[in-house]
Structures are given as C-alpha cells and as structure tokens.
Amino acid sequence: MTAGLQLFDLLESKNREKSFSPMVWRAKLSLNHKGVTYETIPVTFLDIPTLIPQVCPNVTAPTVPTLKIADGEGLQDSLAIAEYVEKNYPKGPSIFGATPSEKHLQLFFDSYVSTRLHPAIQRLVFIEMYEHQDAENAAYFKSSREKGGKTLEQLGGDRAQNMKELKENLGLIHSALLRSGGWITGEQPGWADFTLISAFIWFNTFSPQKFEEGILNAIDDQVLRSYWLKAQQLIV
C-alpha cells in the first residue's frame, strides 16, 4: 500500500459531515475494494475551484473526484481513478473483471445508471441538497442550477412521476440481481456495483424516506433491500 494518496471528497456544507457525491463514492469504493490507503480531503462546492488547484496545479478545471497521486499532480474523474487503481494495485480483487469484455459490460451498466437512475434521483433531492448547504454554498447551488430560468422546485418536477420513472428503470437492475444471486458482477463486487451503490448513497444521504420508497420498496420483494444491506460492508 502506498501512502500519500489524497482524495478530494465533497461534503454538504451545513454540517460538513455527509459525503454524498456519487462520482466521489465511485472512486472511494474502488480504492476501498483494492485495499488502498488514502486520505480524504473534505471540500464544499465553493472550495473546489480554489483548493484543488493549490494542491494539484496540473488540474486546470477542478472537479471532484480528484485524486492527488504525487506532489502537484492530480487525477480527475472516477473512472480514470478506478483504472489507475486497477493498474497500479494489481493484487486483490479486480474492479473491472478478468477480460476486456467484462469491463465493457460494466461500463455499459455504468452508463445505464448514469442516464436512467441519476436524473430521477437528482430531481427528487434538488431541494434537500440545497437545504443541506450553508448560506454561501446554498446561494451558489441555487444560482448555478437556476441559470436556465427554472426554479429548484420546477427543476425537481413532479414527485410521483419521478418515483414512477425510477421504479421503471430499476426493473432491469432488479432482474440482474435476481440472476446473479449476489452482486451485479457475480460473487464479487465490481465497477457496476460501485456505480449503483454510489447512486443509492447519494439518494439516501439527502432523503432516507424517499430512498426507502423509491428504491428499497420500489419492487415487492427483498432483493433491492438485501443488496443495500450487503453494500454496507463496502461503505467505509
């Protein structure tokens, strides 16, 4: 294990306790999966453009996640971080599987989660994300999201319709879990699981009640609930 890796982790700014970014969590779960030692550097929305370039001058468009891998050098994007970890820490369980085809299938699943689950979850937690910020970050969050002319309430849309969309798009995921009998990727978790678990963490962080309704109780059996309970072993 290599000391010195630092991962910039987005926290809500009201209490600075909850790590919520699904993209950061993809990176964290990948690092945890490989048993890599790293330090988390908590940031808020307003910290990102100033703090990250100070530590990683090579990063010209700062975002999270960013992994500091050497003095002055940061690596951005959750997938790039996972690929870096896979390459540089070959021992232990694989993140992407044993073959290129396995990786491609997991990246397809990644796209499904990002395009089919994330939009509904985002609409369902817009207001809660705003409410979990301090005054300065709340003002930034509101102004940046409302640039198109819609209010946060309008961007959130209809709650019932969002829940309906979420349930419909969970169907294929539910079927995949039924077939696998464990993780999306089989006996061991992998990138596909990290993308799904990260979306669940995001949703549950801001609205446990909506998460219960929209995910755990979306389908009338225990498959998704059992999966979430099992995922807790990866969330550290």
Per-residue confidence (pLDDT) for residue 173, from 0 to 100: 97
**CA–CA dist 101, 132 (Å, integer):** 41
Pairing state between β 6-10 and 39-43: parallel
Per-residue confidence (pLDDT) for residue 109, from 0 to 100: 98
Per-residue confidence (pLDDT) for residue 92, from 0 to 100: 87
**CA–CA dist 167, 173 (Å, integer):** 10
Domains of the chain: 6-88 (3.40.30.10), 100-234 (1.20.1050.10)
| Residues of the chain under the 50 pLDDT cut | 1-3
From 116, 130, 126, select the one nearest 157 (Cα to Cα).
126
**CA–CA dist 162, 166 (Å, integer):** 6
CB atoms inside a 10 Å sphere around CB 55: 17
What DSSP element (H or E) covers 41?
A: strand 39-43
Please state at what angle helix 223-231 crosses helix 159-180, rounded to 10 degrees: 80
Per-residue confidence (pLDDT) for residue 2, from 0 to 100: 42
Per-residue confidence (pLDDT) for residue 94, from 0 to 100: 97
Q: For the chain, what's the residue count? A: 236
Per-residue confidence (pLDDT) for residue 146, from 0 to 100: 97
R_g of the chain, CA atoms, integer Å: 18
27 in Cβ contact with 147 (< 8 Å): no
CB atoms inside a 10 Å sphere around CB 61: 8
Per-residue confidence (pLDDT) for residue 181, from 0 to 100: 78
% of the chain at pLDDT higher than 90: 95
